[in-house]
């Protein structure tokens, strides 16, 4: 009984400490300009993906860019990311869409969380696939421009013929 009370008291104490820590942090409001710039960034990035423009994709990332995809090691740096994009574009034609649900800006760093839809059409004539999932991206403002430094995503496990699958809400 004493152990249980001790554990409960410790848990309550930790929760109180965390709440107090976060309560002391100021709430940072993103400027409309930053929100518009991140939206414009996303539009440019998606355009580059859908038009298979590796140079534009590379220009929108930082040198330390890291893509963290499921079931593999992180892809680190522009050159590695450019090479991966080149292989993907040789194998598939993409129609990719992002649906941001949360964007937080704090100074020169921002993160964005949301869902995605990718329709991938094999260039060798196979069936199109619809892939959906979630993403988390981290952006850094450099010389007044937002750039992607981390790109993490995870499939929700679906891969369907696009004619039979609904678009995410």
Which domains are assigned to the chain? Answer: 30-160 (3.10.450.50)
Residue indicated by tokens 């890291």: 66
124-159, pLDDT tens digit by residue? 998 999 999 999 999 999 999 999 999 999 988 766
Element (DSSP H or E) covering residue 86: helix 78-91
pLDDT for 166 equals 46
The pLDDT score that the predictor gives to residue 6 is 46
pLDDT for residue 159: 60
What predicted TM-score, i.e. pTM, was given to this entire model?
0.74
Report the chain's C-alpha Rg in angstroms. Answer: 20
The DSSP call for residue 117 is: E
- In 3D space, the residue among 25, 35, 29 whose CA is nearest the CA of residue 141 turns out to be 35
Are 168 and 100 contacting, i.e. CB atoms less than 8 angstroms apart? no
- Spans in the chain with pLDDT lower than 50: 2, 4-27, 161-169
According to the model, what pLDDT value does residue 146 have? 96
- The encoded tokens of residue 94 equal 């993409």
């Amino acid at each position: 009984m004493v152990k249980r009370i001790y554990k409960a008291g410790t848990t309550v104490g930790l929760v109180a400490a965390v709440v107090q820590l976060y309560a002391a942090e100021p709430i940072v409001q993103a400027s409309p300009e930053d929100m518009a710039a991140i939206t414009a960034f996303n539009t440019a990035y998606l355009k580059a993906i859908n038009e298979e423009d590796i140079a534009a994709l590379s220009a929108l990332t930082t040198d330390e860019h890291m893509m963290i995809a499921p079931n593999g090691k992180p892809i680190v740096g522009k050159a590695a990311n450019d090479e991966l994009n080149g292989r993907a574009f040789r194998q598939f034609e993409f129609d990719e869409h992002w649906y941001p649900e949360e964007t937080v800006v704090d100074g020169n760093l921002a993160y964005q969380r949301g869902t995605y839809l990718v329709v991938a059409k094999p260039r060798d004539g196979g069936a199109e696939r619809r892939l959906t999932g979630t993403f988390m991206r981290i952006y850094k403002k450099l010389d007044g421009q937002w750039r992607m430094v981390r790109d993490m995503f995870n499939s929700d496990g679906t891969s369907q013929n696009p004619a039979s699958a609904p678009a995410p809400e």
